């Protein structure tokens, strides 16, 4: 059974959206020259942005209605790039794409990444994640500070000068591991955080500590949260998680279902081992007592990929009886 497997699709927010063109961030002359044909994405303080519906976008098995980002013509915003605008990059058609904080967007045609992200076109979802993360970093660097302590944006929004420390700061990304624990056969461990709704379950995750490798973080987090010893942590893929500035690093690892589960740190309230057939029922919505992550999270891609890998091996003739 699948000691090793890979993701069957790219996690949301992980597509390449635009050419970030880092070499242009300090080139004021070039950015101003392209500004009249540029587009601006507006994002409010709640991380919401304008979208419009796309009918039959041709996205394979995800066809039907999808959402795409709605932009403002840059020249309608200002005659040249405002100081508070951030340069996101260059679209495939050559137009420059910027983002700006909006005071208000209203409630019509407005979306956010958590509730609507999985309906966005893949490249738009990735672009929205970039904009939301970058603007959130700027907002958090000014929140609660006196105006004289606010950083001055540099590099077209990709850095800021901190007058209180006389240094240049750059947006931070906090690494976190997210791990699918399985038995190397046909069982998977699913857990419920004490803060989640009663029937919501997912895989385990936690932030990387200072001086810690990703593999050691996987082992530590799993042991701290459920008391299990895992082996052979293997990397699957990553997903930007702009809530507000994380990078989810997906792993899978093996554990013994016979080892006693112990919720050591109080964060996890319930954990259980499930057979692949039970997981399939939940994915189909046939089990009203359990809900799994939606397509917004890499967790769902990891679970779907594990199920597909188990079924591929079962089709090769491995015993299909529950273990």
Q: Is 67 inside a domain boundary? A: yes
The band of 106, judged by pLDDT with boundaries at 50, 70 and 90, is confident
On whether both 189 and 99 belong to a single domain, the answer is no
Contacts of residue 205, defined as CB under 8 A and 6 or more positions apart, other chains included, come to 176, 177, 178, 179, 221, 248, 299
On whether both 153 and 27 belong to a single domain, the answer is yes
Parallel, antiparallel or unpaired: strands 246-254 and 159-162: unpaired
Residue 49 lies in domain:
22-169
pLDDT digit string (tens) for 108-140?
899 999 999 999 999 999 999 999 999 999 988
Lowest mean pLDDT among 27-36, 119-128, 149-158, 227-236: 149-158
What pTM, to 2 d.p., does this model score? 0.90
On whether both 36 and 151 belong to a single domain, the answer is yes
On whether both 158 and 205 belong to a single domain, the answer is no
| CA quadruple 230, 233, 236, 240: dihedral sign | positive
Burial class (CB in 10 A: 0-12, 13-18, 19+), 239: buried
On whether both 157 and 32 belong to a single domain, the answer is yes
The band of 68, judged by pLDDT with boundaries at 50, 70 and 90, is very high
**Number of domains making up the chain:** 2
Q: Is the pLDDT of residue 58 over 90?
A: no
Lowest mean pLDDT among 156-170, 201-215, 261-275: 156-170
Alpha helices by DSSP H, 61-189: 74-77, 113-116, 122-140
Contacts of residue 216, defined as CB under 8 A and 6 or more positions apart, other chains included, come to none
What mean pLDDT value characterizes the chain? 91
Mean pLDDT within 91-117: 93
Residue bearing tokens 């041709």: 58
Q: Is 321 inside a domain boundary? A: no
Q: Is 322 inside a domain boundary? A: no
How much is the pLDDT for 25? 97
Say how many residues make up the chain. Answer: 323
How much is the pLDDT for 166? 81
Mean pLDDT within 80-87: 95
Give phi and psi for 38, each to the nearest 5: -75, 170
Q: Is the pLDDT of residue 146 over 70?
A: no
pLDDT digit string (tens) for 238-287?
999 998 889 999 999 999 999 999 998 788 999 999 999 999 999 999 99
DSSP state of 158: T
On whether both 154 and 207 belong to a single domain, the answer is no
User: Which is more confidently placed, 216 or 149?
Assistant: 216
Residue 244 CA: distances (Å) to CA of 26, 312, 316: 25, 37, 43
How much is the pLDDT for 170? 92
On whether both 130 and 226 belong to a single domain, the answer is no
Three-class DSSP category at 32: helix
On whether both 191 and 246 belong to a single domain, the answer is yes
C-alpha–C-alpha distance, residues 256 and 261, integer Å: 10
With residue 42 as reference, give the H or E element that holds it: strand 39-43
Q: Is the pLDDT of residue 180 over 90?
A: yes
Among 108, 142, 169, identify where a domain stops: 169
> Which residue, 53, 46, 42, is CA-closest to 85?
42
């Amino acid at each position: 059974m699948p000691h090793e497997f890979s993701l069957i699709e790219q996690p949301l927010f992980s597509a390449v959206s635009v050419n970030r063109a880092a070499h242009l961030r300090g080139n004021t002359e070039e950015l101003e020259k392209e500004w009249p044909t540029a587009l601006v994405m507006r994002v409010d303080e709640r991380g919401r942005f304008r979208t419009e519906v796309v009918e039959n976008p041709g996205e394979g098995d995800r066809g039907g209605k999808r959402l795409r980002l709605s932009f403002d013509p840059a020249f309608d915003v200002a005659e040249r790039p405002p100081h508070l605008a951030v340069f996101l990059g260059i679209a495939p058609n050559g137009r420059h794409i910027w983002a700006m904080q909006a005071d208000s967007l209203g409630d019509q045609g407005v979306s956010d990444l958590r509730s609507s992200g999985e309906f966005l076109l893949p490249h738009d979802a990735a672009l929205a994640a970039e904009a939301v993360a970058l603007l959130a970093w700027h907002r958090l660097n000014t929140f609660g500070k006196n105006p004289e302590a606010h950083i001055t944006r540099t590099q077209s929004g990709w850095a800021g000068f901190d007058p209180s420390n006389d240094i240049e700061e750059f947006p931070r990304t906090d690494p976190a591991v997210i791990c699918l624990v399985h038995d190397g056969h046909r069982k998977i461990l699913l857990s419920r955080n004490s803060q989640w709704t009663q029937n919501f379950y997912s895989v385990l995750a936690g932030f990387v500590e200072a001086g810690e490798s990703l593999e050691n973080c996987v082992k530590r987090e799993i042991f701290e949260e459920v008391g299990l010893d895992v082996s052979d942590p293997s990397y699957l893929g990553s997903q930007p998680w702009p809530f507000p500035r994380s990078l989810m690093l997906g792993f899978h690892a093996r554990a013994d279902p016979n080892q006693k589960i112990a919720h050591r740190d109080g964060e996890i309230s319930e954990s259980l081992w499930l057979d692949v057939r039970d997981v399939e029922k939940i994915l189909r919505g046939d089990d009203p007592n359990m809900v799994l992550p939606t397509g917004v999270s890499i967790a769902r891609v990891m679970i779907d990929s594990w199920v597909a890998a188990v079924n591929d091996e079962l089709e090769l003739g491995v015993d299909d009886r529950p273990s």
